[in-house]
């Protein structure tokens, strides 16, 4: 994947904006003619032309035959493939297929279905474009079908080039409008201590310690914690054979101390969490001053009113947000939930794309789809609730950290964010998570996302 100069220029122009949500009046209208992704409101996946069949595919920007041009066709509409002139999204019996745009089977009645969603109906029958019902214990089928109305028949028509507006001023930006540079496996740096068995230690995800990361502008920290007799320890995969491992409380103390010295800063921690809740609670209790800076969105009406202004959080001193990827249900079974002592369950508050772009060398996969989409769970990147929009964690790294690859990938971060992940989530990323943040200038992408746009 090589971004062109034009695509990078376009990324810079769009990144310093926020996506514009349609007003209630406009959401009831059929979108105007233009290029769209036909995106399932259930799965967040896109309708794609796959050799004539129309399948759900992982969102992949302008690749993989996922873009459709909507235009009026008499009293109905057609959606023409952006890649194959004259072929439109249509019907063949009970299957979604591509057909000649002049065919009656290419026509759709497009009607609002609420919350910026639409239905696509066969004008001649009570039949709709829909995702097939999910078999027990498996994903939703890839093949799109023609069936009855209902939640599976709700679609976003996501613009390929979304409407935007300038970023609000610094004092008016809400937390979900801000983007933070985030270090993947921030603890795996080989500076603060050991993080893995000897061979794995040779390939650190980062090469600077936590204190230096804070100084350099990293504000999101992904940390793996494992349980040992010493408490919650920072290790990759396990703590066996790890020399000089670091305890979680030590790195959290570094962050709290930094925040007390820099009252205008906000930090977020993401825990890949393999410890019992009581152990984690004990670990946090060792951090001096944690309660002074800990942010509790569960206690401040965020789910009802949306995210507060970042400036208001700084004024209130609420400047450290901690997430866990642990299961709430398992904690409830154990009788102690992590949010009872201030650690938020990530799936309640964020969406996150799949963590890997592929191996450490060779081709990359730029598709952007939910990390939490599978047989056991379904949290699409597009998830929203009334009054609340989850924060979007955008992962941008490989299975293994190779210096040359990380440099190249980080240089392409802005382009992937703008052309692939932003339309996939229908929102801009709030956390750009990378390996080797010191290479390829990923901070430039963060700055572009946060920069106001000159509209004069």
Helix/strand/coil (H, E, C) string of the chain?
A: CCCCHHHHHHHHHHHCEEECCCCHHHHCCCCCCEEEEEEECCCCCEEEEECCEEEEECCCCCCCCCEEEEEEECCEEEEEECCCCCEEEEEECCEEEEEECCCHHHCEEEEEEECCEEEEECCCCCCEEEECCCCCCCCCCCEEEEECCCHHHCEEEEECCCCEEECCCHHHCEHHHCCEEEECCCCCCCCCCECCCCCHHHCCCCCCCHHHHHHHCCCEEEEEEEEECCEEEECCCCCCCCCCEEEHHHHHHHHHHHHHHCCCCCEEEEEEEECCHHHHHHHHHCCCCHHHHECCHHHCCHHHHCCCEHHHHHHHCCCEEEEECCCHHHHHHHCCCHHHHCCEEHHHHEEEECCCCCCCCCCCCCCCCECCECCCCECCCCCCECCECCEEEEEECCCCCCHHHHHHHHHCHHHHHHHHHHHHHCCCCCEEEECCCCCCCHHHHHHHHHCCCCCC
- In which band, very low, low, confident or very high, does the pLDDT at 61 lie, cut at 50, 70 and 90? very high
The pLDDT value recorded for residue 4 is: 46
The pLDDT value recorded for residue 390 is: 98
- In which band, very low, low, confident or very high, does the pLDDT at 20 lie, cut at 50, 70 and 90? low
The pLDDT value recorded for residue 375 is: 87
The pLDDT value recorded for residue 132 is: 97
The pLDDT value recorded for residue 25 is: 38
Summarize pLDDT for 341-382 with one digit per residue, the tens: 999 999 999 999 999 999 999 889 999 999 999 888 899 999
The pLDDT value recorded for residue 311 is: 98
The pLDDT value recorded for residue 453 is: 65
- In which band, very low, low, confident or very high, does the pLDDT at 452 lie, cut at 50, 70 and 90? confident
The pLDDT value recorded for residue 7 is: 47
Residue 306: is its pLDDT beyond 70?
yes
More confident residue, 196 or 28: 196
Residue 50: is its pLDDT beyond 60?
yes
Residue 155: is its pLDDT beyond 70?
yes
Q: Which of the residue ranges 13-27, 209-223, 246-260, 316-330 would you say has the lowest mean pLDDT?
A: 13-27
Q: State the chain's mean pLDDT as an integer.
A: 92
Mean pLDDT, residues 87-100? 98
More confident residue, 198 or 119: 119
Residue 320: is its pLDDT beyond 70?
yes
More confident residue, 115 or 192: 192
Summarize pLDDT for 30-49 with one digit per residue, the tens: 899 999 999 999 999 999 99
Mean pLDDT, residues 69-96? 97
Residue 170: is its pLDDT beyond 50?
yes
Summarize pLDDT for 233-289 with one digit per residue, the tens: 999 988 988 989 999 999 999 999 999 999 999 999 999 999 999 999 999 999 999
Summarize pLDDT for 405-439 with one digit per residue, the tens: 999 999 999 999 999 999 999 999 999 999 999 99
- In which band, very low, low, confident or very high, does the pLDDT at 456 lie, cut at 50, 70 and 90? very low
């Amino acid at each position: 994947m090589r971004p062109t100069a034009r695509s990078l220029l376009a990324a810079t122009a769009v990144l310093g904006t926020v996506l514009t949500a349609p007003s209630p009046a406009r959401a009831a209208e059929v979108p105007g003619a233009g290029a769209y992704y036909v995106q399932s409101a259930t799965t967040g996946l896109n309708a794609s032309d796959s050799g004539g069949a129309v399948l759900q595919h992982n969102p992949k920007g302008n690749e993989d035959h996922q873009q459709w041009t909507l235009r009026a066709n008499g009293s109905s509409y057609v959606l023409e493939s952006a890649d194959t002139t004259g072929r439109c999204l249509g019907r063949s019996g009970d299957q979604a297929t591509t057909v000649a745009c002049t065919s009656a089977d290419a026509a759709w009645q497009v009607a609002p279905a609420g919350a910026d969603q639409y239905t696509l109906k066969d004008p001649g029958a009570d039949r709709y474009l829909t995702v097939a019902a999910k078999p027990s214990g498996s994903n939703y089928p890839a093949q799109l079908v023609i069936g009855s109305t209902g939640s599976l028949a709700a679609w976003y028509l996501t613009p390929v080039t979304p409407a935007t507006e300038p970023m609000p001023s610094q004092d008016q930006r809400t937390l979900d409008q801000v983007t933070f540079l985030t270090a993947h496996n921030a603890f795996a740096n080989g500076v603060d201590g050991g993080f893995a068995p000897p061979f794995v230690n040779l390939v650190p995800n980062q090469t600077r310690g936590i204190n230096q990361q804070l100084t350099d502008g990293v504000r999101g920290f992904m940390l793996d914690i494992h349980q040992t007799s010493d408490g919650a320890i920072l290790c990759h995969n396990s703590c066996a054979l790890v020399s000089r491992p670091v305890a979680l409380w030590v790195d959290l103390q570094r962050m709290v101390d930094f925040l007390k010295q820099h009252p205008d800063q906000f930090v977020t921690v993401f825990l890949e969490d393999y410890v019992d809740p009581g152990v984690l609670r004990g670990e946090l209790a060792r951090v001096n001053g944690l309660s002074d800076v800990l942010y509790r969105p569960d206690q401040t009406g965020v789910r009802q009113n949306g995210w507060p202004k970042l400036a208001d959080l700084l004024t209130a001193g609420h400047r450290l947000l901690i997430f866990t990827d642990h299961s709430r249900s398992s904690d409830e079974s154990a009788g102690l939930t992590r949010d009872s002592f201030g650690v938020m369950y990530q799936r309640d508050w964020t969406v996150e794309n799949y963590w890997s772009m592929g191996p450490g060398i060779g081709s990359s996969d730029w598709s952007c789809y939910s990390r939490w989409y599978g047989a056991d769970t379904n949290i699409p990147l597009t998830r929203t609730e009334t009054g609340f929009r989850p924060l979007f964690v955008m992962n941008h790294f490989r299975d293994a950290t190779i210096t040359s690859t990380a440099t190249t990938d980080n240089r392409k971060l802005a382009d992937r964010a703008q052309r692939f992940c932003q339309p996939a989530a229908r929102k801009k990323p709030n956390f750009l998570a990378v390996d080797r943040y010191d290479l390829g200038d990923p901070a430039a992408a963060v700055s572009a996302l946060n920069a106001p746009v000159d509209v004069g």
